[in-house]
Amino acid sequence: MRQLRPLLLILLACVLALVGALAAWAEAPADPGTTTSESDTTAQPELAPADVQALIDRYRHVAWHWQRVMGRPVTLTLQYPPADPMDRIRTWKQIAARTEQVAQHPPHARAWACIHHFEGSWRDPNSPYYGGLQMDLSFQRTYGRYLLSRKGTANYWTPLEQMWVAERAFRSGRGFYPWPNTARYCGLI
């Protein structure tokens, strides 16, 4: 046991030296002729213009999708676009996140969930009524044209998208009357 202690201490010292060398190597600049300053370590990597535009497009399309589903005006451009490409990406990311957050909470979500309880499955493909709120094609064309053209009938839409199409009908003045029986069961009319 006494003979092993010096060997263990030497081994431990070697491991610590190796860890220290690896840490120093990881912090060293890639090009030996350059030095790293504090501002360089916090700088974000430079993106190619095509990559910047791809990220902006990704966030814009998320925002546009939910704006169209909710029946809101689509934000085509920024009124005061930031000069820095990374700031433009961040701005569109925030717009997409806020729009998606609003979309997660339809105003009458509980009412639509109750109506759905008495109607069909969210994926109900049976004609003439589709989806969890049993929307016919005329209803889908009138209030969900964007989704109908993009995804097909209501049985291919998410439950949230179906609720927003129903919400658009509600806001148009129809209220809950397109579902006369189930709305009565739910105490809505």
| Residues 6+ away with beta carbon under 8 Å from 132 | 116, 119, 120, 121, 122, 123, 124, 154, 159, 162
Distance from C-alpha of 131 to C-alpha of 158, rounded to nearest angstrom: 9
| Residues 6+ away with beta carbon under 8 Å from 92 | 55, 56, 59, 60, 63, 78
Q: What is the pLDDT of residue 47?
A: 83
| Residues 6+ away with beta carbon under 8 Å from 66 | 99, 100, 102, 103
pTM of this prediction? 0.73
Tokens of 124: 């109900």
pLDDT by residue for the chain (189 residues), tens only, comes to 556 666 666 666 666 665 565 566 555 555 444 444 455 555 666 788 899 999 999 999 999 999 999 999 999 999 999 999 999 999 999 999 999 999 999 999 999 999 999 998 999 999 999 999 999 999 999 999 999 999 999 999 999 999 999 999 999 999 999 999 999 999 999
109-185 is classed in which CATH architecture? Orthogonal Bundle (1.10)
Q: What is the pLDDT of residue 18?
A: 58
Domain regions of the chain by residue span: 56-103, 109-185
Q: In b/e form, how buried is each residue of 59-96, taking b as 16+ CB within 10 angstroms?
A: bbebbbbbbbbbeeeeeeeeeeeeeebeebbebbbebb
